[in-house]
Amino acid sequence: MTTVSVGARLHFGFQNLSLAHSRLYGGVGVALAEPRLELTAERGEGVDCDDDGARPYVERVVEHLDVPGATVRVDDRFPRHAGLGSGTQLALSSLVAVAGAYDQAVDPRASAPALDRAGRSGIGVATFERGRFVVDGGHPTELFTAAPPATGEWTVPPVVARHELPADWRFVVAVPDVDPAPSGEAEDRSMRSVVERADPGIAEDLARLVTQELLPAAATGDRNAFGAAVARMGQLNGAWYADEQGGVYRPPAGRVVEALSSVPAVAGAGQSSWGPSVYALTGADDADEVTAAARTALGEAGPGGRVVVSRPRNEGALVDERS
């Protein structure tokens, strides 16, 4: 029996979506301690999984590892297709847990493409491995094709920067109660459409932002500078996505971001990935105030939803093997 426990991640955006530059994508994100996924696997015949959302990942893992089957229990989970990285964390947790049940050694990074993960961003794999704030190097632009590549025909983008963030930072995450963000084929179509018409000038602005503002702020633990930089990164990415998601932010995320950005204790706010999840960076002493503001913002935006407070997660997934 093997149990894997891992937190969500925030995706602040990509460094480049234009075909005019040599590297494409280049994700930027951070590991969270909460919300969490906890998944336990035992040997079995066929796939017996108590979570319908996890079952397809377990089935693919069983095929990839060439084992008879697995009995899988999911004790904690976080919302799927909400911008929190549930797909990659489910896939890699299933991989490590089932492999552990069969006493197999496995490399999540090497196996991720076979599980249909990390075709664009490597942040989910990198945060599963070691947590922290992460910048990946993207893929060579020359590999981009109008149709998505076959499963496994890529490697996970390399990590080009990784920094621990201070333990007293808090990310207040508001998850509006709305339809899930695009995923699967719908997400692929949207991303290809964005890439094919992306303004290369935005990538140039992002390069300056990442190298001159965001990375120094992460390295020195400057919360205000870090928050301002990731918020600006989200705005610049939103300019690429506006036609596909109905604005700089996916509605109703924009109203929540605007409300949280006006709170003095918030260093920066933005949308994670395609949304609808919104984050606000603050300190531990101000987390209650910002949480209350997030709940109010969700209510005023219309749908209501869930608010989670998390510290940065400066370690990778936890694995517990028991006989």
Q: Where are the domains of the chain?
A: 2-321
- How far apart, in whole angstroms, are the C-alpha atoms of residue 36 and residue 48? 22
Closest CA to 150 of 119, 189, 125: 119
pLDDT tens by residue, 140-188? 999 998 778 888 889 999 999 999 999 999 999 999 999 887 787 888 8
Give the per-residue pLDDT at 185.
80
Q: Is 17 within 8 Å of 25 (Cβ atoms)?
A: yes
Q: How large is the angle between the packed helices 86-101 and 55-65, nearest 10 degrees?
A: 50
Q: Is 244 within 8 Å of 190 (Cβ atoms)?
A: yes
Give the per-residue pLDDT at 170.
98
- How far apart, in whole angstroms, are the C-alpha atoms of residue 39 and residue 77? 8
Residue corresponding to tokens 């910002």:
290
Give the per-residue pLDDT at 289.
98
E-assigned strand segments in 17-117:
23-43, 46-49, 69-76
> For every one of its 323 residues, what pLDDT tens digit does the chain have, with 9 covering 90 and above?
999 999 999 999 999 999 999 999 999 999 999 999 999 999 999 999 999 999 999 999 999 999 999 999 999 999 999 999 999 999 999 999 999 999 999 999 999 999 999 999 999 999 999 999 999 999 999 999 877 888 888 999 999 999 999 999 999 999 999 988 778 788 888 899 999 999 999 999 999 999 999 999 999 999 999 999 999 999 999 999 999 999 999 999 999 999 999 999 999 999 999 999 999 999 999 999 999 999 999 999 988 999 999 999 999 999 999 86
Q: Distances from the Cα of 314 to the Cαs of 11, 92, 139, 235, in angstroms?
A: 16, 18, 25, 26
**2-321 topology per CATH:** Alpha-Beta Plaits (3.30.70)
Q: Chain-wide mean pLDDT for the chain?
A: 96
Q: Is 321 within 8 Å of 100 (Cβ atoms)?
A: yes
Q: State the pTM of this model.
A: 0.96
Amino acid found at 230: V
Residue corresponding to tokens 């910048």:
135
> What DSSP designation does 249 have?
S
Q: Indicate the length of the chain as a whole number.
A: 323
> What's phi and psi for 78, nearest 5 deg?
-130, 165
